Amino acid sequence: MMRRRMYAVLLLAALVAAACGGDGTSNESGGKGGGVTQRGFRIVAVTHGQASDPFWSIVANGVKAAARDEGVTAEYRAPQTFDMVAMSQLIDAAVASKPDGLIVSIPDADALGPSIQKAISSGIPVISINSGSDVFAGLGVLAHIGQTEEVAGQLAGQKMKEAGVTHAICVNQEVGNVALDLRCKGFSEGLGFSAEVVPVDLNDPGGITQSIASKVQSDSAINGILTLGPTASTPALQALQTAGKLGQIKLATFDLSTEVLQAIDKGDMLFAIDQAQYLQGYLAIVFMTQYLATGAVALGSPDRVVLTGPQFVTKENAAAVIKFTDQGVR
């Protein structure tokens, strides 16, 4: 089922790219491009992605490019920190502005659910991206675009186990973000034993380095580390280098960056799990535009989850992917 979904997503992305193409550069994108029919729709995207996290700039790039290609106006909004109160307020403000469609991430359904349902009860269609694959349907959201986080964590654990990992930690830079909590949960399930969760602050890379270095120095049995994003994986690389254990402890991460890909290519990291976040932003705008224009939404599968990941990047393909991170699309 997962493979069929992935093929469908990649085929759709290829068709969209062949028909359109683009790489928007502003926070608000409207149609002024050559030959693009201007539809007049305004779509607002509200995510939990902080400005300090480069992962979300890739999502925003996808939103902007699709807005230009589809001939619509799109606005990307996010709180400055992982703050569910602030995010719910952003959703409420978006609803009050009466957009034609709303895109949201759902890292905490309890905190964000009332605001999302307010949008739906106001007649604003909603599509979710990135986090919320397990809760979106219950909120009345049309479809979800992203990856099933617990399954992705399980696959990471299985790969680590195959690599000989017997004692591991899971470094979580946003404890309370349900999607990240599920990654750690799945990681333990895939390993077949419990990996200790090490909470860190993504806004304090020096503190992350210190926490990981202290952990591996105090527990010599640790031979595997999973980080949940580049904001933690880069400090983890520095921690292992400082501790003299780079290459000795298996390190893997969710999500990509140039540093991550270079480390994988050099053999300093085992793998990265890519969820193709550019496609999450891009396809959400395409799907919403087509829903507004036709009344139909691409569902991807019977459970209405359109998978963009997990896609594994290893030493075999890391060098080929680097150019796409430099272009801001991976």
Q: Residue 34: pLDDT band by 50, 70, 90 thresholds?
A: low
Same domain, 261 and 284: no
Which domain covers residue 229, as residue numbers?
Answer: 149-274
Name beta bridge partners: 198: 171
The answer to whether position 314 is within a domain reads: no
Same domain, 93 and 137: yes
Q: Residue 51: pLDDT band by 50, 70, 90 thresholds?
A: low
| pLDDT for residue 35 | 61
Same domain, 18 and 143: yes
Q: Residue 155: pLDDT band by 50, 70, 90 thresholds?
A: very high
- Give the pairing of strands 224-227 and 250-254: parallel
d(CA 203, CA 57): 16
N-to-C CA span, the chain: 24
Distances (CA, A) of 302 to 156, 279, 298, 321: 25, 20, 11, 31
CA 287 to chain centre: 18
d(CA 253, CA 126): 30
Among 5-19, 160-174, 221-235, 240-254, the range scoring the smallest mean pLDDT is 5-19
Same domain, 29 and 128: yes
Q: Residue 37: pLDDT band by 50, 70, 90 thresholds?
A: confident
Same domain, 236 and 296: no
Q: What is the pTM of this model?
A: 0.83
Residue 307 clears pLDDT 70, i.e. is over it: yes
Quick one: which of 225, 288, 281, 211 has its CA closest to 254?
225
DSSP 8-class letter at 295: S
The answer to whether position 322 is within a domain reads: no
Name beta bridge partners: 312: 273
Same domain, 157 and 268: yes
Quick one: which of 319, 168, 158 has its CA closest to 236?
168
Same domain, 33 and 135: yes
Q: What is the pLDDT of residues 213-230, one digit of tens each?
A: 999 999 999 999 999 999
If one counts the domains in the chain, the total is: 2
Same domain, 49 and 119: yes
Residue 76 clears pLDDT 60, i.e. is over it: yes
Same domain, 67 and 114: yes
The answer to whether position 315 is within a domain reads: no
Same domain, 141 and 279: yes
Buried b (16+ CB within 10 A) or exposed e, 162-190: eeebeebbbbbbbeebbbbbbbbbbbbbb
| pLDDT for residue 27 | 42
Q: List the beta strands (DSSP E) in the chain.
A: 28-29, 42-46, 73-77, 101-104, 126-130, 144-146, 168-172, 196-199, 224-227, 250-254, 271-274, 305-307, 311-313
| pLDDT for residue 135 | 95
The answer to whether position 263 is within a domain reads: yes
Q: What is the CATH number of the domain that holds 168?
A: 3.40.50.2300
Quick one: which of 190, 172, 216, 251 has its CA closest to 260?
251
